[in-house]
Amino acid sequence: MSGHSKWDTIKHKKAINDAKKGKSFSKVSAQITHAAKQGGGDPNMNPTLRLYIDKAKAVGFSNDSIEKAIKKGTGESGDGVVFEEITYEGFGPHGVQLVIDALTDNKNRTVADIRQIFEQVGGNMGDTGSVSWNFDTKGYFEILCGHMQTSEKYGEADFFVEDNPEEVELNIMDLPGVLDIHEFEEEGKKGLAIYTGYDSFGSVRDSINKLGYVLKEAELVKEAKVLKSVTDEEREKIDSAIEKFDESDDVQNVWNDLE
């Protein structure tokens, strides 16, 4: 299995400019609310919530906004907002297969938006199973080969302490459910991209947290079993279509079968 396409996608997402920050705020707010509803509002006891809080801070989400999003999830705000995970599927330009994961508080609004985007890009929305048969769902993690340590000399400021990358990889390889590991480097820090079985996602995430490594990403990914080859010109049109879906506030991920 190749991890290069996934890593390239993540680097691309990290380069989103400030003009799209408003969209990021809407999405991360929904993620925080949903995570708090699923696993509670204490980030120390809810690793998924903690990860989304870190992502929110990275895009400039204020502490007040984070607190409000958490309270929506735990029901403390009293507004009764409930987010639901929904997956849509269909065909985009040049027959590319698309699987779209959404997080929404209004299914009727979201399905209408997704169907309209399919029409705009010259594709068509499919029935359940029309595309998803070709996709495997796996766990995906990114960790840095090190841990955060609090400086006693300088108070509460945390700093990164690098661990031996080979030892980290050996520790991760021993975890049940790990399928594949790829090395990467980010801002001078060595890291690992880790694939797991779908059923092992939760246990591997908990084990990584117990080991103390810095967790950068933790999500379920969908990878096509049979890949489609397209020309550069066709790819440009497909990329434009995917971007339209990604611009929707409700859309969390768009998966495809491209090589």
Q: What is the pLDDT of residue 258?
A: 95
33 and 59 co-located in one domain:
yes
Contact between 210 and 3 under an 8 Å Cβ cutoff? The reply is: no
How confident is the model over 175-207, as pLDDT tens digits?
A: 999 999 999 998 899 999 999 999 999 899 989
Has residue 7 got a pLDDT over 80? no
Q: Which residue has the higher pLDDT, 157 or 252?
A: 252
Q: Are strands 178-186 and 158-162 parallel, antiparallel or unpaired?
A: unpaired
Q: What percent of the chain has pLDDT over 90?
A: 63
Given this model, what pLDDT does residue 127 score?
95
Predicted confidence band at 97 (pLDDT cuts at 50, 70, 90)? very high
Write down the pTM of the prediction. Answer: 0.81
The number of C-alpha atoms within 13 Å of 198 and in the hemisphere containing its C-beta is: 6
Confidence of residue 156 (pLDDT cuts 50, 70, 90): low
pLDDT of residue 155: 55
Q: What is the pLDDT of residues 52-64, one digit of tens each?
A: 888 888 778 899 9
Residue with tokens 């820090």: 189
| pLDDT band of 216, cuts 50, 70, 90 | confident
| Segment of 12-21, 163-172, 211-220 carrying the highest mean pLDDT | 163-172
Q: Summarize pLDDT for 26-72 with one digit per residue, the tens.
A: 888 999 999 999 889 998 888 888 888 888 887 788 999 999 999 99
Q: What is the CATH number of the domain that holds 97?
A: 3.30.70.980
Residues 78 and 72: beta-carbon distance below 8 Å: no
**Residue 58, domain CATH:** 1.10.10.200
- Give the pLDDT confidence score for residue 136 in this predicted structure: 95
How many domains, in total, are found in the chain? 3
pLDDT at 223 > cutoff 50: yes
Asked, for residue 112, whether it belongs to a domain, the answer is yes
pLDDT for res 228: 96
Beta-strand relationship, 178-186 and 189-197:
antiparallel
Domain of residue 197 covers 136-222
Could you tell me if 92 and 32 lie in one domain? no
d(CA 118, CA 116): 5
Tokens of 231: 């020309």
Q: How far is CA 43 from CA 26, 37, 38, 48, 121, in A?
A: 20, 12, 12, 8, 40
Looking at the fold, whether 118 and 68 belong to one and the same domain comes out as no
Q: Give yes or no: residues 211 and 243 share one domain.
A: no
